[in-house]
């Protein structure tokens, strides 16, 4: 369970930054607080987002698959 300081920080973020406050319920707040309760958790999530640009560039270099693949592909 996150400490109260973290809980207050997340509550502030949800209360002030959400466009529709009904989009996040108490369960969602708890899950978010659990997932981001340490500095290492926050740093790891930031690194994941920072990698998006490289991921997009890498995907453009991949060869098209020559085998049948079931998926949702848009061009």
How far is residue 36's CA from residue 26's CA, in Å, rounded to a whole number? 15
Backbone φ, ψ for residue 36 (5° rounding): -125, 45
Q: Say if residue 27's pLDDT is above 50.
A: yes
Q: What is the pLDDT of residues 54-67, one digit of tens each?
A: 999 999 999 988 88
Mean pLDDT of the chain: 80
For the chain, the domains span 4-59
């Amino acid at each position: 369970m996150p400490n109260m300081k973290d809980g207050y920080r997340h509550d502030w973020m949800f209360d002030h930054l959400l466009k529709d406050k009904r989009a996040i319920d108490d369960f969602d707040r708890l899950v978010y607080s659990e997932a981001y309760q340490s500095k290492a958790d926050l740093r790891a999530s930031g690194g994941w987002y920072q990698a998006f640009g490289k991921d997009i560039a890498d995907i453009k270099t991949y060869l098209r698959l020559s085998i049948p693949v079931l998926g949702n592909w848009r061009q």
